Amino acid sequence: GEAPNDFLKCLQPKLAVWLDWFRRTQKGHALYSYRWSGRVVTEGISHTLSSGLDDYPRSNMTNTLRDRHVDLLSWVATMLRIMDKIEKALGQKPTPASGYGAGWEALVKHAEAIHWDKDTNMYADRGLQFYPSGRQEEGFVEHFGYISLFPFLLGMAPKGNQSEAVISIMADAAHLRSKAGLRSLSKTSPRGGKDSVYGTQEDYWRGKVWICINYLALKALKTMYAGGSKQGEELYEGLRAAIVDNMVSQYARKGFIFEQYDDKSGEGLKHKPFAGWSALVLLIMAEVY
């Protein structure tokens, strides 16, 4: 149901402060760009802990000043959209100081203009890249994985060529599709051949299956993108069944819900019992999005 107006009035100023903090402290070097602060290399492993996707591969340079992170842009855009909806629900007129609706629209356009890589036909981070030839320049970070999906997951990707391209990557077993759900990093490089980072080092967000991101993918498919797309409809049904079947199987064998699942064997991994976001399987089963 809809949130009561009193609750929205209480929440609105707090969310505004939170959004302002993100827009001030995590802004990138260019207009309408955002970067997670604190990307560091520790003991030879690159981490962007502030993003929550700890060891997911970002730029291959230690210099972070030109980082542009498409997942953070998508989150900020989503915050703007939520604030715009709250304003409208409360009957408030948009002000130049807020501009939430206009801000959302600007970031949707920016995601297409800056983060859509026409060569690989996918969304991507941008950053200062080191190339085998020795040159260093800003370019797309060439990995397919959860980061590539964020404009789709949060409803920013336009329906049509872009959304179908994202669905194709999700549906492809050589990329993100696995027996346990969508893997966090593709086995295959966008340019072909094995992705050199897949399954390496800590291997936390480098291939393993996370239910929270799979829930967002199912939500996006069910509520926005699968309708009218045969490929999208088939992916929704198959992905949902795979996640539920694997988690039920693991629970029957081991008696736990796990933090993450292996993309090859389906085995539950890391912390247990993990009734945090992995418990989203109950909403997946009920198709509550």
pLDDT-based confidence at residue 63 (cuts at 50, 70, 90): confident
Residue 99 in this model has a pLDDT that exceeds 70 = yes
Q: Beta strand 260-261 with 126-130: parallel, antiparallel or unpaired?
A: unpaired
Cα(259)–Cα(270) distance, integer angstroms: 6
The pLDDT of residue 205 is: 97
The pLDDT of residue 97 is: 66
Asked whether the beta carbons of 185 and 205 are under 8 A apart, the reply is: yes
In the numeric block, the tokens 């703007």 are attached to 80
The pLDDT of residue 122 is: 97
Q: What is the value of pTM for the model shown?
A: 0.93
Quote the tokens at residue 110.
């920016």
Cα(287)–Cα(143) distance, integer angstroms: 30
Could you check whether the bond before residue 273 is cis, i.e. omega within 30 degrees of 0? yes
Percent of the chain at pLDDT > 90 equals 81
pLDDT tens digits along 216-250: 999 999 999 998 899 999 999 999 999 999 999 99
Mean pLDDT of 2-15: 93
The pLDDT of residue 199 is: 97
Cα(131)–Cα(128) distance, integer angstroms: 10
Cα 104 to its chain centre, rounded Å, is: 17
Cα(80)–Cα(28) distance, integer angstroms: 17
pLDDT-based confidence at residue 1 (cuts at 50, 70, 90): low
The pLDDT of residue 21 is: 96
pLDDT-based confidence at residue 41 (cuts at 50, 70, 90): confident
Residue 38 in this model has a pLDDT that exceeds 70 = yes
Asked whether the beta carbons of 171 and 180 are under 8 A apart, the reply is: no
Cα(227)–Cα(276) distance, integer angstroms: 30
The pLDDT of residue 42 is: 84
What Å distances lie between residue 255 and 57, 83, 211, 264, 273, CA to CA? Answer: 33, 41, 17, 20, 9
Mean pLDDT of 76-81: 97
pLDDT tens digits along 113-165: 999 999 999 999 998 877 777 778 889 999 999 999 999 999 999 999 999 99
Cα 146 to its chain centre, rounded Å, is: 5
Question: What is the DSSP code string of the chain?
Answer: -PPPHHHHHHHHHHHHHHHHHHHHHSB-SSTT-B--TT-EEETTEEE-GGGS-TT----SSS--TT-B-HHHHHHHHHHHHHHHHHHHHTTPPP-TTT-HHHHHHHHHHHHHHHHEETTTTEE--EEEEE-TTS-EEEEE----BHHHHHHHHTT-SPTTHHHHHHHHHHH-TTTTEETTEEBSB-SB-TTSSB-TTTT-TT-SSSS-B-HHHHHHHHHHIIIIISTT-HHHHHHHHHHHHHHHHHHHHHHHHHS---SEE-TTT--EESSSS--SGGGGHHHHHHT--
Residue that wins the pLDDT comparison between 252 and 63 = 252
Q: Which residues are catalytic?
A: 54, 259
AA identity, residue 215 = Y
